[in-house]
Amino acid sequence: EAGVTQFPSHSVIEKGQTVTLRCDPISGHDNLYWYRRVMGKEIKFLLHFVKESKQDESGMPNNRFLAERTGGTYSTLKVQPAELEDSGVYFCASSQDNRVTGELFFGEGSRLTVL
Amino acid sequence: AQKITQTQPGMFVQEKEAVTLDCTYDTSDQSYGLFWYKQPSSGEMIFLIYQGSYDEQNATEGRYSLNFQKARKSANLVISASQLGDSAMYFCAMRRSGTYKYIFGTGTRLKVLA
């Protein structure tokens, strides 16, 4: 069974450009999450999808970030226009259920470098 | 406010020895879950162990055990018989019951020495 896959693994862009990150969750997982880790800091929650619906987007930094999950399968996270402080590793995770014991299955992350 | 604190940015341990990675948490909730994840150099976050706030016994998974001290709000990860492959970043996380949001600490980088 394939795990959570993310693309690209690393993206280097200029300030002001646009980047789109993609996440393919584990098949059958309704819950999909985006997290971000800025260098040396904690991993912070960005948002949560249940199927195609945004359940919680309280962690989205600002309106330069747009996440979608059309059809409830893969998700995209677009940053437009990118700023220097957006640099970090963006993790996608999925889970099958909403039990408190439910572990998250993470992808390998997409490293974004904004110059 | 919910918070996870990992005070050890880096740790060294000799191969075959045990090591404890510290984690303290702050919450006013009664029901919550505590998790440890491992992040090797490949980048993927790997689930290691889970402890529920109402679990009376410490969780164990193979060489991993969680030293849960509820009154002190600590959930330290103990790795016994360290192996070179244990070298990685380790994250402590908490999830409140009824929510989907995980709160992570800043992580501890563990290096196992041969």
Considering CB atoms only, which of B42, B46, B97 is closest to A100?
A: B97
Q: What is the mean pLDDT of residues B44-63?
A: 92
Q: How far is CA B36 from CA B6, B39, B45, B102, in A?
A: 11, 10, 10, 11
Q: In this predicted model, what pLDDT tens digit does every residue of B28-51 receive, in sequence order?
A: 988 899 999 999 988 888 999 999
Chain A interface mutation, best of B6, B36, B89, B102, highest count of A Cβ atoms under 10 Å:
B102
Q: Calculate mean pLDDT across residues A48-63.
A: 92
Q: Angle at Cα B9 formed by Cα B22 and Cα A79, nearest 5°? A: 110
CB within 8 Å: B47 and A55: no
pLDDT tens-digit readout, A17-29? 999 999 999 998 9
Nearest to A103 among B43, B50, B97 (CB): B50
Inter-chain CB pairs, A–B, below 8 Å: 66
* Six token digits for residue A85: 């402080």
* pLDDT in the model for residue A103: 78
B47 with A103: Cβ contact below 8 A: yes
Separation CA B3–CA B12 (nearest Å): 25
Confidence (pLDDT) at A104: 85
DSSP labels, B37-88: EEE-TT---EEEEEEETT--SPPEETTEEEEEETTTTEEEEEE-S--GGG-E
What distance in Å separates the CA atoms of residue B38 and residue B68, rounded to the nearest whole number? 18
Q: Tell me the residue type at A8.
A: P
Residue A113 has a pLDDT of 96
Chain A residues inside the 8 Å CB shell of B103: 42, 45
The CA–CA distances, whole Å, from A45 to A13, A35, A77, A91, B109 equal: 23, 4, 13, 9, 21
Per-residue pLDDT, B101: 83
Q: Give A73 or A99, the one with higher predicted confidence.
A: A73
Residue B76 confidence (pLDDT): 98
